[in-house]
Amino acid sequence: MDRLPAPIDPVPDPWPLHGLVLRTPRLELRPDDDGSLRELVTMLHATGVHPASAMPFSVPWTDADPRYLGRGVVQYFWSERARTGPESWALHLVVRSEGRVIGLQSLTADRFGLLRGVETGSYLGLSYQGTGYGTEMRAAVLAFAFDHLGATTARSDYVEGNDASAAVSRRLGYRADGTSLNSAREVRTVQHRVLLTPEEFVRPGWELGVRGYTDELAGFLGAQPPRGG
């Protein structure tokens, strides 16, 4: 008779992301789950994230048929969860203000344990733009990446003409890191890359609150252990 594997005590948390919470003076950021994705889709339908005449993304996902946009959004995030592990991970943090979902802030990395580099991406509902939330939520994940995960570089990019994203990058201390071309909506556009280091990071006048960054989560991401761990 085959022997059963010996039990593990304690049983490892199969999804250590679930307890992570980042807090700023006005915002709360938590990894996506199915409930928050439903709220995110509701926000996308209610306000949109850019005028129909503009396309601020290199992949024009917001051009999807409205009947299927929500399905595509949740399927994308399900696929991102499925691929997440120490070799390649994606933290898609649903952003709330006063309990209401207002946008999404992503932090992604490949081979983080060796390369120590992250990339960011984000969007806000149109109703919440021009409030400083975009700067606040990106500052949150940068502080988490540099001070807790042990990142040494952070990269982002923006489509030429996306002045709001460019302004956030300038405000936080990024420097130019080259350009590339893309063809969203079959139009040739320039993509600007930007780079930030911990030394160049223009820190906000507040301290990030972090809950749920555990040894298990650090190992899952290939990151440095929690302070004092």
Contacting residues for 65 by C-beta, under 8 A, at least 6 apart: none
165-203 residues labelled b (16+ CB within 10 A) or e (exposed): bbebbeebbbeeeeeeebebeeeebebbbbbbebeebee
What are the tens digits of pLDDT across the range 119-167?
A: 999 999 999 999 999 999 999 999 999 999 999 999 999 999 999 999 9
* Three-state secondary-structure class, residue 79: helix
Give the model's pLDDT for residue 8.
65
What are the tens digits of pLDDT across the range 200-209?
A: 999 999 999 9
**Position 47 pLDDT exceeds 90:** yes
The predicted model gives 38-64 an average pLDDT of: 92
Q: How confident is the model at residue 55 (pLDDT cuts 50, 70, 90)?
A: confident
**Position 76 pLDDT exceeds 90:** yes
**Position 10 pLDDT exceeds 90:** no
- State pTM to two decimals: 0.93
The predicted model gives 202-217 an average pLDDT of: 97
Q: Sketch out the chain's domains with CATH numbers.
A: 16-150 (3.40.630.30)
Residue 90 bridge partners (DSSP)? 108
Order across the sheet with 209-211: list the strands.
Answer: 175-182, 189-196, 153-159, 117-124, 100-110, 88-97, 28-31, 21-23, 209-211
- Peptide bond preceding 10 in cis form (omega within 30 of 0): yes
